[in-house]
A and B are shown apart, each in its own frame.
Chain A
Amino acid sequence: MADRHDRDGHLTRRHLLALAGAAGAGAALPLDFSKVVLAQGAGKTLRVRMGSDISVLDPSHIFQIENQTVCGHVFNGLMKYDQSTNKIVPDLALSHTVSSDGTVYTFKLRPGIAFHKNYGPLTADDVKFSFDRVLDPKGGSKYTGQLAGLVKTEAPAPDTVVLTLDKPASGFMHKLTAFNQGWIVSKKAIEEMGEKAKLNPIGTGPFTFEKWSTGSEVRLAANKAYFEGAPKFDELLLRIIKEETAAAIALEKGEIDIFYALQQPEMIDRLGKAPNIKVLSRDANHTINLVLNTTIKPLDNPLVRRAMAHAMNRKGLIDGFFKGTKGMGHSVLTSSFAEFTDDVPRYEYDPEKAKALLKEAGVTGFKFEITSVGLSPFDRIVVPLAEDLKAVGIEATIKILERGAYTQARNSGNVQSCITGVVGPPDPDSPLVTLYAKKSFPPGLNTARYEGAEDLLAKAAGAKGDTDRAAAYKAVLQKVMADVPVIPLYADKLFLAHTSKVEGLVQNSLFTVFTYPASLKG
């Protein structure tokens, strides 16, 4: 019979059925255990989706938005960007003065600020140490160039920091804001922990770093003693969810509360229509650009570069491919910069004008290679652009490289063109110096090897007062857009979705999220 045991211990159908049954039973448990456990847990946890894992949480080496999102909660800077206006306001600094020649900056620190986990009070020594380690050429910091010009750092008193520049720099305060090299670390923690400090950030921020589970999540705890007041929830849980579809479903089901750096147009549309979900959007600080190598023929001719800008239907790309989730980029500065202006030479889509310009340049058609990285959407947007170029007689081909190979090719500078976006704070030097200055020649991002705006960039750096500064940057933008070594393809927009439980969240113009102002309802 079916229930007869085979006494020899051999495999019987009953055994197999039992196995299958057990698997089936395990699969069909219709209970939502997560709710049971949640009800038991004390305290409020805000759950945020991160697109990938963290790696380096040391400000001198930091890169990638996930690491920057974590560090943004843990560290402070001397100054910071106001999240909604991008104005530079004091953070750890109580006040500051600038010498009349514009080279000596003196900061007074807020009193009574302590580092997390009993690493002692914040002193001027920590601030000096934080900048010194970025400037140390042996440190291999990414951001040494950002602090170029800073020739002396001093801590004459525990609450006083003096920074001396070799010459006045109108944008110097941008370098001291709470981001990347601007984040202030604990000297004691870095010296005591050595290599371990990379994953044990000790800052003064609203959250302390508690736990990282590889590939899974990061937990931060509210710093109840935070100088601007304790956060309104107890724990920040950053969950690594790679798939946007899975993240969207998790948000809809309430498994997470915030989904930032939302990218796919379909997902933005879907979440926008979902009940109990709010989608925020804001112009980003960066544009995505096609950088042309101006040292090779015929790209050395500005007429050819202008022709290419006219040949590409960028509006079509934004409306069609991106379904309106990106904006037009008329220069590499977006509207989120204080120095933004749209009074620059523009290149509307006009294939006939492109052909005429090519004719004027005496160029009848040439081979042109677009190098792009194998990441969505950059591997796909180049296809319609290449087609547009073909339509005016330029034989455009596409080369897609894996990220590591792409970085190497770009660093070498031996590319005809590449797709580059400078993601960073609302510091105009971030895109302008990085893309147009001679000091950013490869391995930097000036793969155009363009040096036509050196004087204007120097003038902008030395400008005094906001009006002067705005005029100087406008001159830079007009010059580089007339020469077009870099064609802005589109201005990025940022999308963030959160459940209606989340209140008070402010979206910044970076690719990160800062949850300190937020609270959780219920």
Chain B
Amino acid sequence: MLGYLGRCLAHLMVTVAGIVTVAFFLMRAIPGDPAQYMLGDYATQESLAALRAQLGLDRSLVEQYLLFVARAVQGDLGTSVATGQAALTEIIDSLPASLALAFSGLFVAVALGVPSGIAAAVRQGTWLDVAIMLVALGGISFPVFWLGLAAILLFSHKLGIFPALGSSSDAGWLTSLHHLALPALVLGFSVAAYIARLTRSAMLEVLNQDYVRVARAMGIPDRRVVYRLALRNALVPILAVIGVTFAWSLGNAILIEAVFSRPGVGSTMLKAILARDYQLVQAGVLALATGVVLTNTLLDILYGVIDPRLRAA
């Protein structure tokens, strides 16, 4: 087990280092630089040169990269060129809001997606199945920013149940939760659609297995067959998709954050990319990549717990 964990950790580090390196060079490959962004309309040859020198952009690309790596291993990811704040601090500051959204969205997604997927599979071919799959199709087809705007119009404007802004200026947790509800529901709904479809097909596959048929033939109650025999075996692919959708919901969170005016890593990254704030982008990529790779590693371990056959592998 220890060897397995070690392998996982090494794998994690290599992956994250790779992603950060690619991001480093990609950012510098796209046109524009922070000096140009900041000077904009007032740029002169002298001011561009002075600001570039100040930001260390006059060094060669390799030099910049080596400097970045040397500092990164010591935990220093540089400072945001725009704000002068430590890049890592700025990313860490925006993490709680993102994690709150991603987890609450995932919670809604699982709570909606798994039961409706099971119901659709068990009642395959009935009106319930058709209805659930139709709603799921809607969830997949509508872009999440559209769903967000529609939800604001319906729940905030027409019904007045939720605030239009997805984050609160007051510190009270109850208020914060009230503001979080609508973005979480929208994110959750779009992810639930995927989970429901996958749960349905995974369940159907298992329900058609011989051992399920035998169990039914032996007179084991239907409920027991569905929840103890079928669901447990269908859980591995479902967990896999939950892992993927976690990464996906972090990505979608950028759009949700924009629509609902929520702070978060997504908005910070978007701002950083537009301003070519290299250090901030690198810190953000590092944080996101670590989060996603870590989630997948945890899921790998979890598969083993659920399915003993995978533990041996």
Contacts and interface: CB of A to CB of B under 8 A. Distances in A.
A52 B169 CA distance: 16
Contacts of B227: 6, 10-13
Interface stretch (B8-16, B38-46, B207-215): B38-46
Nearest to A199: B83
Q: Majority SS of interface residues in chain B?
A: helix
A444 B44 contact: yes
A407 B40 contact: yes
Interface in B56-79: 79
A407 B32 contact: yes
Interface stretch (A19-27, A77-85, A104-112, A305-313): A19-27
Given A37-B175, A246-B260, A56 B232 contact: no
B170 to A, nearest CB: 4
Interface string B152-166: 110011001101110
A139 B46 CA distance: 10
A399 to B, nearest CB: 13
A416 B234 CA distance: 61
Interface of B: 30-33, 35-48, 50-51, 53-54, 79, 82-85, 90, 93-94, 97, 107-108, 110-112, 114-115, 118, 149, 152-153, 156-157, 160-161, 163-165, 167-170, 172, 174-175, 177-179, 181, 185, 188, 223, 227-228, 231-232, 257-264, 267-268, 271, 274-276
Contact of B30 (A20, A31, A217, A405): A405
A521 interface: no
Nearest to A37: B170
Contacts of B149: 243, 245-246
Given A20-B111, A405-B30, 18 more contacts: A11-B227, A12-B227, A26-B181, A31-B178, A32-B160, A34-B178, A56-B38, A63-B40, A142-B39, A197-B84, A213-B93, A215-B263, A249-B164, A253-B157, A253-B164, A255-B164, A403-B274, A411-B48
A411 B35 CA distance: 11
5 contacts: A142-B39, A214-B93, A215-B257, A239-B261, A408-B36
Interface of A: 6, 10-13, 16-17, 19-20, 22-23, 26-34, 36-38, 41, 47, 52-53, 55-56, 61, 63, 137-146, 195-199, 213-217, 237, 239-243, 245-247, 249-250, 252-253, 255, 401-409, 411, 422-423, 434, 443-445
Given A143-B42, A243-B258, A53 B267 contact: yes
A63 B38 CA distance: 7
A41 B170 contact: yes
Nearest to A4: B223
B165 A27 contact: no
A255 B163 CA distance: 8
B250 to A, nearest CB: 15
A504 B45 CA distance: 44
Contacts of A241: 165, 261
